[in-house]
Amino acid sequence: MRKVPPSYVSIGTEATEIYKITSGRKARIKKLWLHNTDTANDRLVAFCNSGGTRISPQIRVSAGQTIFLSEEELPAMEFNGSVYMIADGTGVDVLPEVEEY
């Protein structure tokens, strides 16, 4: 079952929950929309655990730009519980499409 949260989530320098998985299920990110609202600085973002430790390669979002990533472009990761992301600065909006199973 694919799900999209009702609105985007703004992430910054601390672990931010971008999606809460239904109890007892696992999930994969199918698509990811990222927008850098900072028009002066590029941002690096990554998936992380709840403590902020990065668990994926970093994704660069250029200043003032929006990027869309499909599952082919994202690291193959399986989540259980909540999905968190972190950035190297503020101003990144995130909207995931998640498949729960």
Listing DSSP states for 62-79 in one string gives: -TT-EEEEETTTS----E
Q: How confident is the model at residue 1 (pLDDT cuts 50, 70, 90)?
A: confident
Q: Check whether 4 has a pLDDT greater than 90.
A: no
- Among 60, 46, 56, smallest CA distance to 15 is for 46
CATH of the domain at 93: 2.60.120
Over the stretch 23-72, which tens digit does the pLDDT of each residue have? Answer: 999 999 999 999 999 999 999 999 999 999 999 999 999 999 999 999 99
Q: What is the mean pLDDT of the chain?
A: 95
Q: How confident is the model at residue 89 (pLDDT cuts 50, 70, 90)?
A: very high
* CB-based contact 45:91 (threshold 8 Å): no
Report the domain count for the chain: 1
Structural domain of 6: 2-100
